[in-house]
Amino acid sequence: MNPIRSIQGMSDLLPPESARWQAVESCARGHFHSFNYSEIRTPLLEFTELFVRGIGTDTGVVQKEMYTFDDKGGDSVTLRPEGTASVVRAYIQHNLAHADAITKLYYLGPMFRYERPQKGRLRQFHQLGCELLGTKSALADVEVISLLDGLIRKVGVTDFTLEINSLGCMDSESCRPAYLKQVTAFFTDKAAGLCAECNRRLTTNPLRILDCKNPTCKEVAATAPVMLEFLCADCGPHFETVKQGLETLGVSFVVNERIVRGLDYYDKTAFEVLSNNLGSQNAFAGGGRYNKLVESMGGPATPAVGFAIGLERLLMLVPEKFGSAASRKIYLAPLGAKAHPVALKIARDIRAKNLVCEMELDDKSLKSQLRRADKLQCTHVVIVGDSEIEKGVAVVKDFAAKTQSEVPLGQVPDFLAGV
């Protein structure tokens, strides 16, 4: 019979890699808490309409990449392709604004996008993200971006570039509306050089042309007018304050006027974090400000800003040794049936000291047990055989110190906790 394999683009996370993930996740949780963020967990499955309305009908994610199906009740549901829309839904549904003017939430979990799998691009991937809702202050953008920069550095990644841009707003006619007019005229002029989809986008969502992956469209887009030249009296100073705040904190960035982001909800600040060590999928985090999303989803007008890191991509950059600080790992080696009840209790008491203890469960010779302890990279071996039980002791071997001592049975856990 053919064994069943996992679905393409959906990976198992196996040891020892899972330990590295846990180290990054726990570092991230600590980092978020230091900025006073709390965790939110939303369902993996939501009504399709949430993402269509939240992310935008004319985005690649909504058009091509969603895992959408009708459930048994006939409702169209979708596996979440990102976290922001769900967080906003929960924020509105549970009236989170009620508790405080500012709501700071972080999340961590799997997202689903039906993309062509390749290095760093999966169909089930994981995001670590946060959303700060309730203020239009540019200082919030500064805080969120500096949080991201600090987190990346905390997990040992230093070789990356933070790129920022402003996408303006729709509130002032002279801001994005004026830009859209210009950019539409520009692309209409060059329509013959654009792909069929971009020709359609000319009428639906011309900004998306700037994000098209088609090489000829990219070439045309390279000389298109840029949003930064159109920023209004609100967006211009906002962007300046963000840049100044980042400079004050010593957060390095470059302004990339070509950033448009692949989701439709952004206005004002948009940013991405890139690395040259990832291959073609070189952005491992992205985010920005979204002042209209909460309102457009039926909530009160609430400006917000946030980001998400792609964990698979981040983990490709995190140093191999991150989080693997040498800690004590004990191998308990019972020899013979008489030793089993003694060993069971010693193992229980060692674990109660929060030490890692692997107890041998099969009948094995001392030689093969020592070999296994070595393979499992244990730091100590506790040997309990007939002669030891008679004497009321265990033999404790310390691999690193290359020492061996006889320790009274009742004192083994304390001895190991103290060494």
Nearer to ligand HAM, 230 or 265 (CB): 265
The CA–CA distances, whole Å, from 321 to 24, 160, 324 equal 11, 19, 5
Q: Where are the beta strands (DSSP E) in 113-264?
A: 124-133, 161-166, 254-255
Question: Least separation, in Å, of the C-beta of 171 and ligand HAM?
Answer: 19
Nearer to ligand HAM, 235 or 263 (CB): 263
Q: Is 127 in the site for ligand HAM (CB under 6 A)?
A: yes
The CA–CA distances, whole Å, from 141 to 13, 147, 206, 378 equal 33, 10, 26, 46
Phi, psi of 135, deg, nearest 5: -145, 145
Which range binds ligand HAM by CB under 6 A, 22-30, 120-128, 173-181, 246-254?
Answer: 120-128
Nearer to ligand HAM, 82 or 143 (CB): 82
Question: Least separation, in Å, of the C-beta of 131 and ligand HAM?
Answer: 5
322 neighbors 24 (Cβ within 8 angstroms)? yes
Nearer to ligand HAM, 51 or 187 (CB): 51
- 291-308 burial, b if ≥16 CB within 10 A, otherwise e? bbbbeebebeebbbbbbb
Stretch 26-85 residues interacting with ligand HAM (CB under 6 A): 82-84
Give the burial class of 270: count Cβ atoms within 10 A of its Cβ; 0-12 exposed, 13-18 middle, 19 or more buried: buried
Question: Least separation, in Å, of the C-beta of 361 and ligand HAM?
Answer: 39
Question: Least separation, in Å, of the C-beta of 226 and ligand HAM?
Answer: 20
Give the one residue of 58, 115, 257, 358 binding ligand HAM; rule: CB under 6 A: 115
> Cα 61 to chain center, whole Å?
18
DSSP 336-363: STTHHHHHHHHHHHHHHTT-EEEE--S-
Q: Is 221 in the site for ligand HAM (CB under 6 A)?
A: no
Helix (H, G, I), strand (E, B) or coil at 287: strand
Stretch 245-284 residues interacting with ligand HAM (CB under 6 A): 262-263, 283-284
Which range binds ligand HAM by CB under 6 A, 127-135, 151-159, 369-377, 400-408?
Answer: 127-135
Q: Is 129 in the site for ligand HAM (CB under 6 A)?
A: yes
CA 10, 261, 41, 66 dihedral sign is: negative
303 neighbors 291 (Cβ within 8 angstroms)? yes
Site string for ligand HAM, 296-325 (x = CB under 6 A): ----------xxx-x-xx------------
Q: Is 125 in the site for ligand HAM (CB under 6 A)?
A: yes
Question: Least separation, in Å, of the C-beta of 122 and ligand HAM?
Answer: 4
Question: Least separation, in Å, of the C-beta of 311 and ligand HAM?
Answer: 8
Nearest residue relative to ligand HAM (C-beta):
310
220 neighbors 183 (Cβ within 8 angstroms)? no
Give the one residue of 29, 121, 190, 218 binding ligand HAM; rule: CB under 6 A: 121
Site size with ligand HAM, rule: CB under 6 A = 26
Question: Least separation, in Å, of the C-beta of 306 and ligand HAM?
Answer: 3
Nearer to ligand HAM, 220 or 259 (CB): 259
Question: Least separation, in Å, of the C-beta of 99 and ligand HAM?
Answer: 20
Helix (H, G, I), strand (E, B) or coil at 331: strand
d(CA 92, CA 301): 11
Nearer to ligand HAM, 160 or 187 (CB): 160
Question: Least separation, in Å, of the C-beta of 297 and ligand HAM?
Answer: 14
Nearer to ligand HAM, 292 or 313 (CB): 313
The CA–CA distances, whole Å, from 123 to 57, 61, 129, 301, 395 equal 20, 12, 18, 33, 51
- 201-230 burial, b if ≥16 CB within 10 A, otherwise e? bbeebbbbbbbbeeeebeebbeebeebbeb
Question: Least separation, in Å, of the C-beta of 265 and ligand HAM?
Answer: 8
d(CA 381, CA 398): 7
Q: Going by C-beta distance under 8 Å and a sequence separation of 6 or more, which residues neighbour residue 316?
A: 120, 277, 278, 284
Phi-psi region of 298 (alpha: psi -120 to 50; beta: other; left: phi over 0): left
Q: Is 235 in the site for ligand HAM (CB under 6 A)?
A: no
Site string for ligand HAM, 277-296 (x = CB under 6 A): ------xxxxxx--------
Question: Least separation, in Å, of the C-beta of 91 and ligand HAM?
Answer: 12
For 138, half-sphere exposure in the C-beta direction (CA atoms, 13 angstrom radius) is 16
Would you tell me which residues interact with ligand HAM (CB under 6 A)? 82-84, 113, 115, 120-122, 125, 127, 129, 131, 262-263, 283-288, 306-308, 310, 312-313
